[in-house]
Structure 1
Amino acid sequence: MALPWLQSFSALAETTNPVFPKRFAVLFMGNGVNEDHWSSDGSGAGMTLSKTLSPLEPLKHKINVIHGLFQKRATGHGIHPPQTGSLLSGADIRRGAIIRAGTTVDQVVANRMGRDCAQPSIVLACEQPMTGYHETNYSMAYSSHISWQSPDSPVPNEVYPSLAWDNLFENRGNLRNMSVLDRVKDDAAALGRQISSDDKTKLDEYLTSVREVEKRIDRLRGAKDKAEETAKQHNRPVFSMDRPANGLPEDLRDHARLMCDIIAIAFQTDKTRVASLLLARDLSAMYYPFLEVREGHHAASHHNLSDGYERIARFHLSQLAYLATKLDSMPEGNGTVLDNSCLMWLSNMWIGRKHDNTRLPLVLAGGLGGTLKTGRTLSYLEDGDDNRKLCSLFLSIMDRMDVKLDQFGDAETRLQRL
């Protein structure tokens, strides 16, 4: 079990300027937003945010709302899978039985930085992937995965919080039934006697937060085991069952928050520096009774100007706000974990009723170790297609994470004004 940053460690290392790891995460919601309620203007304390972006109001000094970027190779090839399969790679994807996309930006970063961590990346989702083919003759794999480790292989999504947690803390065999904190309590007690009182308080807060998440995970572990037994009795795969029969949390709010909590702990303890979270996939079948929306996500997106779909988009944007706030509450040197991170929230299209992806809704949170100025609205809508490439943004982010490439996807230049 890794520790968060403590001031006492810097003192022992006899350094006053510790170098903190940079982290990168992607949060994805499929099918676009309500464009009437997605806007921002100005910068700093005077920045104004629209209704859908309002969950970010307390964090507006640490975000960048970026308008007008797009993935050109994802346009003009039909709807849904071809609009999603190359979103994070800028690759030309292939129709038919042989899937081919491209290594995504998160995995490029993970391949370069992952050797310094227990896990190169974590790839999470709140919804099971689809199988088969779309009417456009593109595989549904393109709609189900945003992270690809190679052109022909998406990274499997982990949808079960208990399995993501076990993998993070190496819970195997009998260890699954033992609290992580019980395994390290003697070491934690010994450390507590050697560090400053401020660090002792920080350590106690950290251990308490881990235990709180662990208890929520434990409640779900039994549901997953029961689902597997039920599926076996009925001779059907678990993934073909609806929630909560499949062992996933019945309330999507609990599911999304747990996944964000896992990312936060993983970043805080440097278990990994790269993460992705698919909140709702393209062609999502998610339902939102707590938002008083009767239609499923995909059907609702065809009426994306409705109040109900605006609530759906705002709910998913609020997960970015939740994760960013959690990271911002974790001290790291003179700043926070958020200050050393870059969180990117985006969708694969702008207007669901038109399947329009000629511009994409996108927000960044975090300063990436002081390399990324925040508190801004950046618009590229009038800059011309060559100057509003999403892959140019990826090159700029990778530069700041010391991953230098001459080209990525369809871009050879960095994003101006970032």
Structure 2
Amino acid sequence: TDRLGIQDFLSFRGSKDLVSAEISPFNAYKKVFGMSSTGPSDARLLLRKSVNDYVKEGMSALLASSKLSSSDKDRLQLHMDGIRDTEKKIAIHLSDERISQMEKGSNVSQYENNTIEVLKMQLDVIAIAIAAGSFRAVTIQIGAGIDATQYLIKGQRFAGAHAISHRVATQMPFMDGAPLAGAEEMHIQLDIMHAELFKYLLDRLSSYKFGNQTLLDFGTVMWFSEIADGPSHSHDNIPHILAGSAGNTLKVGNYVSGNSHVNKILNTVGTAVGVKNAQGGPLDNFGDKDLVAENKDGKAAGTIAAMLK
């Protein structure tokens, strides 16, 4: 477990195929652009280079060839210019200053006093990864089941997040400690922090423009907690907040209340982004097959019609 309390694995590629987490924003950034084996300065140098730079010699020879008509050369030049224009749009959000901040933020020992900024760096990486087409889906987990992170908010060092959620002064064993003074207010501030980070990601995604739409319009972002209540560990009535219409397939500005399993929500999101079941129909059986097969009351199988257009 690292200083942020993030576990080694967050999601799955398929059945029992775990995807490992990356705590360092800079390492994540290098992986997005295929630079995991380069040093920091080399990575910045590579990012300044255009795709066109790697084919410059061949393209120059092709443009000089008498076999190409002038219109063919114009089209080829237009294509190269288009590539560079796209690179410049993406590069706006990859300043040397931000890359340097990510590089410094890769030092785990510094996370304790810089947790929120490190999280913003991770969100920057998520946005650029989606914008560049490197990834279609990304998961970020903030904290863990027994989260010892002591956030620094408005100059105040909070107790461990897990202790706050249980309203006790000791991290473990969490049910035997004395009451934690101010726990409820600290919990409110933690919720506000998470909401602000969610908005930060939405703003980053919305900063990428595609015609009269933004990157957020083409997908959706879902924010939710692992449990509904700390002391009871209840899984009932967990809010799931979605932003983005996934290409105008999800309703926005919409509140849906119902007795549905989280799998049904994921079925709905999967359907909205075009995921199919084995029969080629809308996704309706996300998750463990036994959970869906043994489901007697319709909580896990199918989609939520009120969420879809």
TM-score (normalised: structure 2): 0.71
* Candidates 392, 407, 410, aligned match of 2:285: 407
SS in 1 for 2:247: coil
Aligned counterparts of 2:112 and 2:22: Cα–Cα separation in 1: 14
- Structure 2 residue 266 is the aligned partner of structure 1 residue 394: yes
Note the C-alpha offset of 1:175.
Answer: 5.4
Aligned counterparts of 1:126 and 1:297: Cα–Cα separation in 2: 12
SS in 2 for 1:210: coil
Q: Could you say which residue in structure 2 is the equivalent of 1:290?
A: 153
Q: Could you say which residue in structure 1 is the equivalent of 2:306?
A: 417
Q: Could you say which residue in structure 2 is the equivalent of 1:259?
A: 122
Note the C-alpha offset of 1:339.
Answer: 0.3
| Mapped contact 1:128–1:159 kept (Cα < 8 A) | no
* Candidates 177, 190, 194, aligned match of 2:41: 177
Distance 1:126 1:264, change over 3 A: farther
Alignment of 1:214-293 (within 5 A): 214-220=99-105, 223=107, 243-244=109-110, 248=111, 250-291=113-154, 292-293=156-157
- Structure 2 residue 195 is the aligned partner of structure 1 residue 310: no
Aligned counterparts of 1:146 and 1:128: Cα–Cα separation in 2: 12
Q: Could you say which residue in structure 2 is the equivalent of 1:106?
A: none
Distance 1:275 1:174, change over 3 A: closer
CA offset digits 1:315-350 (Å, max 9, x no partner): 012111101111112111331100011101000111
Distance 1:399 1:218, change over 3 A: same
| Mapped contact 2:52–2:84 kept (Cα < 8 A) | no
Unpaired segments ≥5 residues, structure 1: 1-124, 131-143, 225-242
SS in 1 for 2:305: coil
Alignment of 1:156-235 (within 5 A): 156-174=20-38, 176-178=40-42, 179=44, 180-184=46-50, 187=53, 194=78, 204-212=88-96, 213-220=98-105, 223=107
Note the C-alpha offset of 1:148.
Answer: 2.7
Note the C-alpha offset of 1:415.
Answer: 1.1
Note the C-alpha offset of 1:298.
Answer: 0.1
CA offset digits 1:141-199 (Å, max 9, x no partner): xxx644133554532111111211111111144554321333338649x9xx848x999
- Structure 2 residue 38 is the aligned partner of structure 1 residue 154: no
Distance 1:145 1:203, change over 3 A: closer
Note the C-alpha offset of 1:266.
Answer: 0.5
SS in 1 for 2:234: coil
Aligned counterparts of 1:187 and 1:148: Cα–Cα separation in 2: 36
Distance 1:209 1:377, change over 3 A: same
Spell out structure 1 runs of 4+ moving beyond 6 A.
Answer: 197-202
Distance 1:164 1:198, change over 3 A: closer
Q: Could you say which residue in structure 1 is the equivalent of 2:245?
A: 367
* Candidates 322, 338, 363, aligned match of 2:216: 338
Q: Could you say which residue in structure 2 is the equivalent of 1:102?
A: none
RMSD: 3.2
Note the C-alpha offset of 1:404.
Answer: 1.4
Aligned counterparts of 1:158 and 1:173: Cα–Cα separation in 2: 15
Q: What is the identity, as a one-letter code, of the residue corresponding to 1:333?
A: G
| Mapped contact 1:343–1:364 kept (Cα < 8 A) | yes
Distance 1:249 1:339, change over 3 A: farther
Aligned counterparts of 2:104 and 2:50: Cα–Cα separation in 1: 22
Q: Could you say which residue in structure 2 is the equivalent of 1:350?
A: 228
Distance 1:199 1:146, change over 3 A: closer
Q: What is the identity, as a one-letter code, of the residue corresponding to 1:265?
A: I
SS in 2 for 1:323: helix
SS in 2 for 1:377: coil
SS in 2 for 1:374: coil
Note the C-alpha offset of 1:280.
Answer: 1.4
Q: Could you say which residue in structure 2 is the equivalent of 1:235?
A: none
